[in-house]
Each structure stands twice: as C-alpha cells, then as structure tokens.
Amino acid sequence: MTTGNTKPRVGIFGLTGCAGDQLQILNCEDELLWLAGTINIVDWVMVKSENDHSCRLDIAFVEGVVATELDLEMLRTIRARTTFLVALGTCAVWGGLPAMRNEIPKGVLDREVARAGDPTVLDAVEALPATHFVPFDFLLPGCPIERHEFLATVNSLLFGTVPELPAVPVCLECKTRENVCRVIEHDEVCCGAMTRGGCGARCPSHGVACGGCRGPVEEPHYDANATMFGDRGISWVDISARMRKFSAPVWMRMGLEGVIDHER
C-alpha cells in the first residue's frame, strides 16, 4: 500500500447511520495516536476541521447506508478517488437496521408520516447498503465493528495484505465458551447459528440471545432455523422480525418474506 516512506493517505466517511463505527475507531484510545502517526488521515470530517475532499486516497473507510441522493453522490465520489475501499459495519455491508424501513410501503410512509408534518419523507429513497452501489475491496461487518478487527485490517493493509477474519458462526464461538444455549434452554430466537462470528459470542455470554448484528454467515440456512424456532412455538412474526433485523435486503432478495407469510 505504501510507496517508499510516504504514509498511506486515508479517508474515513459516514453515510446515513449512527456514526458508531467511526466512534469505535475513536474508541481505540490506546492505539489512536499510533494510528495517527502511521497513516495520514487527510479526510475525516467527524474529527478534523481541515480536510482535503478531493485528493487521491490510498485507503478509505465508509460506514452507513445510502438513504439520500446526497449519500449516493458522496459514495461514488469516494469510490472514484480511492484505491482500496473498506466497508465499515453492518449498515455499509448488509443494510443494517436502517434498511428495515424498506419494508414499509411508500404509500404508508406518505400517509402516516407526511400527515404528522414531517419534512424528512420528501426525499426518502430506499435505504440500501453501500455495497449495493459500488464495488468494495474489503468488508468489515459488525454493529458496531469490533475494534480489534479494525486495527487488524489497518495493520494488514500497511503490509499490503488483508486480514483473515473469522467466518464461523457466532454459535461456534458460543459453544467454545460453554454458554447455556438460548434456544434449547430458553426457547428464544437466537441468531447465533446464522450470524458471522468475530464478537466472541458477546450476547449469549451475557445471557442474552444473539440479535444477528454482524450479518449472515456464508450459508445462513434461514429456512431450517425458522422451522426450528417455529417448532418451539414461537410466532412467525417474532421469528422473522428478529432474523431479518440487520440484513433485511438479503432477506428480501432471497424471497424469505414470502415463505414466512405463507407459513403464517
């Protein structure tokens, strides 16, 4: 990534979202000054007031969904000036929670929301992950991202490679921690078997079912999981609400909405 002694030029950007992934970078308190000395952060509006919005970038990190025309324009501009583009967080990779709004028909939003006198609905386009619009070179899921995975990514990029991040489901990490199973013992909708690990099964380790915040593993087997929860007497509405929470666009694309409606 670097040539000679020059530090790579890096930009960090947020589209529509909660800014949680940028905050996680700031939450690397022990490494922040090392980071600032190792890479040259030239464009980071959340943290700096003097930014270069037009120079070439060796690496750029983008979090959030595309929810407005402005987001899309910004994303395309970033892609055009960047050599290595990293999607930061579940919103950018899978659509995250903001993409849930796509399930509400436009007519309903217009009727219920516009009536309440809200100006925001006027330019509301469908909320979709950044990965839907431009090619990315690396994906870093998580809601929010794990700090150690971000640092591993930066470190690897400095050496011209990408890190090997866990691709196993949360369920596997949960088993190695010897947690009590939230499905078997508590009849809860736990997304651990469908969700990509790397978090160390944080939620089940706290006695709380996995919410699926890191997005799906490569083969999530949604249908088998849904059947398993259904057999335990959990309502299809609750099952689908939880399972599609963080990755609604994938869920919709796979036609699972129809399956659930049919079963219902």
Partner 1 sequence: MNGSASRTITIPHLGRVEGHGGIFLKIVDDRVVEVNLDIHEGSRFYERLLVGKNYLEVQGIITRVCAICSADHTVAALMALENALGLPETERVQRLRGLLLLGAAIESHALHVFALALPDYLGFDSVIAMSEKYPTEVASALQLKQLGNRVQELVGGRPVHPINPIVGGFGRLPSHRQLSALREELTGAIDSAMRFVDLAVTLELPGWSTNPTVFMALRPDDAVYRFRGLTLCTSRGEEYPAASYREVVQEYAVEHSHAKHAALASGGTYMVGALARLWLLGDRLGGRAREAYERLFPDGVQPNVLLNNWAQLVEIVHCLERGVALCDELVSVSETDRDAIEFEVRAGRGIAAIEVPRGILFHEYEIDDHGTVVAANIVTPTAQNLANVEDDLRAAAEALLLTGLPCGDAELQGNLEMVVRAYDPCISCSVHVVRVDS
- Contact residues: partner 1, CB under 8 A: 14-21, 23-24, 26-27, 29-30, 32-33, 36, 41, 44-51, 65, 67-68, 70-71, 96-98, 100-101, 104, 109, 112-113, 115-121, 124, 127, 143-144, 202-203, 205-208, 211, 213, 237-238, 241-242, 245
Shortest Cβ distance from residue 34 to partner 1 (Å)? Answer: 11
Cβ 143 to partner 1 shortest distance, Å: 6
Packing angle of the helix pair 256-263, 236-243 (nearest 10 deg): 160
In the bound state with partner 1, the residue whose beta carbon lies nearer, of 45 and 161, is 45
Question: Please, which residue, 46 or 161, has the CB nearer to partner 1?
Answer: 46
Q: Which residues contact 24 (CB under 8 A, 6 or more apart)?
A: 144, 145, 146, 147, 150
Nearer to partner 1, 114 or 161 (CB): 114
CA distance 198 to 137: 19
**What is the closest distance, in whole angstroms, from the C-beta atom of residue 124 to partner 1 in the complex?**
6
Among the listed residues 190, 149, 189, the one whose alpha carbon sits nearest the alpha carbon of residue 167 = 149
Give the nearest distance from C-beta 262 to partner 1 in angstroms: 19
Which residue, 33 or 224, has its beta carbon nearer to partner 1?
A: 33
Rounded Cα distance between 60 and 14, Å, is 11
Q: How far apart are CA 151 and CA 137, in angstroms?
A: 17
Residue 229's identity, in one-letter code, is F
Least CB distance from residue 161 to partner 1, whole Å?
Answer: 26
Task: Give the residue ranges of DSSP H helices in 50-162.
Answer: 69-81, 90-94, 106-108, 114-115, 147-158
